[in-house]
Chains A and B, each alone.
Chain A
Amino acid sequence: MSDTTFVYVPPSTEGKKSKAAASKLTGRKLRWTLVDIVILVYALVPVLWTLSLSFKTAETQTDKSFFPTEWTFQNYRDIFTTNEFIRALVNSIGIAIIATLIAVVLGTMAAYAIARLDFPGKQILVGVSLLIAMFPQVSLVSPLFEMERQLGLFDTWPGLILPYITFALPLAIYTLSAFFREIPWELEKAAKMDGATPAQAFRRVIAPLAAPGVFTTAILVFIFCWNDFLFAISLTSTEASRTVPAALSFFTGASQFEAPTGTISAAAVVITIPIIIFVLFFQRRIVAGLTSGAVKG
């Protein structure tokens, strides 16, 4: 990238610009287009590669070609006919959704209190959640493994949901309290002056305004839970609660001597779909959510 990257570019107010300036602008646009293409390739190639593998037939898996030479849906048919994947998918979806719901509800309550109320221990709570955000998850694997075995939570949904909620909470609290802070305090006062009870003020003014923030947080938390591998592989042992990321590493080929490349790729594509949907439809919100909590002032 050349030094033009850092040049300040005024929000293009075209008007009576000279030809030279116009051509300079198209030149710049061209350069930015090139940059865009590089980014596009960077981000998409690994995804396209997995997609390609998932459509390759068993015979062409090893042809080392980036694009499939023979197309097939066989891999998808395979994973959706085995119990192994469907079970894992159900586990993934169920666990992620339940953990997200609980984390968002608890996070919303705590974030509202942190953003709006004055109470002792507030700073401690903020500090603790920051600590947990930085916590090495692997440090918890050993004790949780032992504790969950004793409590009968090992290899169950709650056994995964609990750590997910815990590690999602700091994320939820940070993003949500940033969102709550953006809602002007005066709106609540105005509602009170307009004759609302505190409950009415919350329901008719604060809740509708907080909804986008809560929704964004839910997406971020869901992505986090959906992504986890360490807990999923350490705290499960059977299909009862193994999620897709963990299950992938247990996939076997159709026969003993066949590598499970195709089925793993197909499964990988399936669990990437929700992520792609989120990213496509809620790009703006995800960006806002990720950046609001992290950097303030």
Chain B
Amino acid sequence: MAEIVLDKVTKRYPDGALAVSEVDIQIKDGEFIILVGPSGCGKSTMLNMIAGLEDISAGELRIDGQRVNEKAPKDRDIAMVFQSYALYPHMSVRENMAFPLRLAKVDDKIVRQKVDEAAKILDLTQHLERKPANLSGGQRQRVAMGRAIVRSPKAFLMDEPLSNLDAKLRVQMRTSVSKLQKQLATTTVYVTHDQTEAMTLGDRVVVLRGGVVQQIGSPQFLYDNPANLFVAGFIGSPSMNFMPGTLENGSLSTGLGSVTLSDRVRRLAESAKAPREVIAGIRPEHFEDAHVLDEHTLSGGSTFTATVDVLESMGSDKFAYFTVEGEAATSAELEELAADAGTGDVSASGTQLVTRLSATSAAQEGAQAEVWFDADKIQLFDPSSGKNLTYAE
């Protein structure tokens, strides 16, 4: 168990490409921290640098206060779980799990005992003599976890460990990873591109983009107070709706009409010296069918009427999709997010708006609906810098 500190850690490849730029993170002992970002954001490189599989170009990595930049992976006492699991195909499950202990020249009896223990925790006891090729995806994943926990290392590094599992199993394994981490209370650095995993697993989340840390904080804090457009768009599913807007005398006009900002939002925007042209962001759940709300609530926001393009009923609530006329919000960060989601080149006129309505809503596909949104939950972003103008520390 250990505290891991990244002090201005930088990775520059020989060809000059900057993969990770001056990252500062302090990971507390026993903390579960998530590195998240789109592919190519440097999160795996960072993990590999902590592991010792890649050299650190500049900066310092300290484990328990000790500089380890020059240490070989085997001397760092860190275990890693790989995306592909990296199980040794020529060894049985037992041999796979025993491998790190054998390399450490642990006594045979203790090896057996530790492997049995780990197998019990991970429910692998009946598979110990099988080869990885004969295991299911979930079982392989558990063997990879077993190989990591069996030697009680100072920390776990996990590189998208669940991304090769099918959706249902992934949810199941997510909870068991979380439980296991709490049970062992071992410092864990977990890399993922899945924002759901980021939200549900970690004590804290680090959002990366282009090798630069965008924001660090608890999942809920990041959700409520994204530092910039990128974090706002990345965290949350379905993601935040963005549209261009104009600020004038405390009111904001967007494709949804003009709305008077709440005092809180206006004050924040003023202190951030918000420009006239902004990007407004509203999360889907901050919309509601106007007909299911009382007068008092309605007065706290603004309503608009539009045709429902698509209505998805999830049982617990309904997702209604609208098309908002006018220019779509554009910024480098939003483009990058769209490219990562694979929707970068889907051109549609206007902005697609996703709203989450209560199950009792009477909205109909193809029909007009009156929708309300909460003016106090609007976030404003600077289109040129992407900075959140309504960021509340």
A interface, CB within 8 angstroms of B: 184, 186-187, 189-197, 200, 204-205, 208-209
B103 in contact with A194 (CB, 8 Å) = yes
The CB with the most chain B CB atoms within 10 A, among A186, A194, A196, A197, is that of A194
Of the A-B pairs whose beta carbons lie under 8 Å apart in the complex, a sample of 14, sorted by A's number, is A187-B86, A189-B48, A190-B82, A190-B86, A190-B147, A191-B99, A192-B53, A193-B73, A194-B100, A195-B151, A196-B103, A197-B74, A200-B103, A209-B90
**Chain B residues closer than 8 Å to A193, beta-carbon distance:** 51, 53, 73-74, 78-80, 157
- Main DSSP-derived SS at the A contact region: helix
Q: Taking A195-B74, A195-B104, A196-B74 as contacts, is the C-beta distance between A189 and B82 under 8 angstroms?
A: yes
B214 at the interface (CB under 8 A from A): no
B133 at the interface (CB under 8 A from A): no
B51 in contact with A195 (CB, 8 Å) = no
Output the nearest chain A residue to B147 by Cβ-Cβ distance.
A194
Q: Taking A192-B72, A193-B78, A196-B74 as contacts, is the C-beta distance between A186 and B103 under 8 angstroms?
A: no
Output the nearest chain A residue to B144 by Cβ-Cβ distance.
A190
How far is A189 from B74 in the complex, measured between Cα atoms in Å?
10
B88 at the interface (CB under 8 A from A): yes
* Closest Cβ–Cβ distance, residue B131 to chain A (whole Å): 13
**Chain A residues closer than 8 Å to B104, beta-carbon distance:** 195
* Closest Cβ–Cβ distance, residue B1 to chain A (whole Å): 17
B262 at the interface (CB under 8 A from A): no
B257 at the interface (CB under 8 A from A): no
Name the contact of A192 in the complex, choosing from B74, B90, B147, B157 (C-beta under 8 A).
Answer: B74
How far is A186 from B90 in the complex, measured between Cα atoms in Å?
15
* Closest Cβ–Cβ distance, residue A196 to chain B (whole Å): 5
**Chain A residues closer than 8 Å to B147, beta-carbon distance:** 190, 194
Output the nearest chain A residue to B148 by Cβ-Cβ distance.
A193
* Closest Cβ–Cβ distance, residue B164 to chain A (whole Å): 12
Q: Taking A194-B99, A194-B100 as contacts, is the C-beta distance between A189 and B86 under 8 angstroms?
A: yes
How far is A51 from B43 in the complex, measured between Cα atoms in Å?
66
- Mark each residue of chain B from 241 to 257: 1 if its CB lies under 8 Å from any CB of chain A, else 0: 00000000000000000
**Chain B residues closer than 8 Å to A209, beta-carbon distance:** 89-90
How far is A276 from B94 in the complex, measured between Cα atoms in Å?
39
**Chain B residues closer than 8 Å to A191, beta-carbon distance:** 88, 99
The CB with the most chain B CB atoms within 10 A, among A189, A193, A197, A200, is that of A193
* Closest Cβ–Cβ distance, residue A5 to chain B (whole Å): 33
How far is A186 from B44 in the complex, measured between Cα atoms in Å?
13
**Chain A residues closer than 8 Å to B83, beta-carbon distance:** 186
How far is A190 from B78 in the complex, measured between Cα atoms in Å?
11
* Closest Cβ–Cβ distance, residue B94 to chain A (whole Å): 14
Within 8 A of A (CB), among B76-108: 78-80, 82-84, 86, 88-90, 99-100, 103-104
**Chain A residues closer than 8 Å to B99, beta-carbon distance:** 191, 194, 204
How far is A193 from B189 in the complex, measured between Cα atoms in Å?
15
* Closest Cβ–Cβ distance, residue A123 to chain B (whole Å): 16
Q: Taking A196-B74, A209-B90 as contacts, is the C-beta distance between A186 and B100 under 8 angstroms?
A: no
How far is A206 from B139 in the complex, measured between Cα atoms in Å?
23
**Chain B residues closer than 8 Å to A200, beta-carbon distance:** 103
Q: Taking A196-B74, A197-B74 as contacts, is the C-beta distance between A208 and B82 under 8 angstroms?
A: no
Q: Taking A190-B80, A193-B80 as contacts, is the C-beta distance between A184 and B86 under 8 angstroms?
A: yes
**Chain A residues closer than 8 Å to B53, beta-carbon distance:** 189, 192-193
The CB with the most chain B CB atoms within 10 A, among A190, A192, A208, A209, is that of A190
Name the contact of B103 in the complex, choosing from A184, A195, A208 (C-beta under 8 A).
Answer: A195
How far is A204 from B100 in the complex, measured between Cα atoms in Å?
12
Q: Taking A189-B53, A194-B103 as contacts, is the C-beta distance between A205 and B73 under 8 angstroms?
A: no
* Closest Cβ–Cβ distance, residue A201 to chain B (whole Å): 9
How far is A208 from B95 in the complex, measured between Cα atoms in Å?
14
B84 in contact with A184 (CB, 8 Å) = yes
**Chain A residues closer than 8 Å to B100, beta-carbon distance:** 194-195
The CB with the most chain B CB atoms within 10 A, among A186, A205, A208, is that of A186
Output the nearest chain A residue to B75 by Cβ-Cβ distance.
A195
How far is A194 from B90 in the complex, measured between Cα atoms in Å?
16
**Chain A residues closer than 8 Å to B151, beta-carbon distance:** 195
**Chain B residues closer than 8 Å to A205, beta-carbon distance:** 88
How far is A193 from B100 in the complex, measured between Cα atoms in Å?
8
How far is A90 from B72 in the complex, measured between Cα atoms in Å?
50
**Chain A residues closer than 8 Å to B84, beta-carbon distance:** 184, 186
Output the nearest chain A residue to B89 by Cβ-Cβ distance.
A209
**Chain A residues closer than 8 Å to B80, beta-carbon distance:** 189-190, 193
How far is A204 from B98 in the complex, measured between Cα atoms in Å?
13
How far is A205 from B99 in the complex, measured between Cα atoms in Å?
10
**Chain B residues closer than 8 Å to A187, beta-carbon distance:** 86, 88
The 7 closest A-B pairs by CB, nearest first: A190-B86, A194-B100, A186-B86, A195-B74, A193-B80, A195-B103, A192-B73
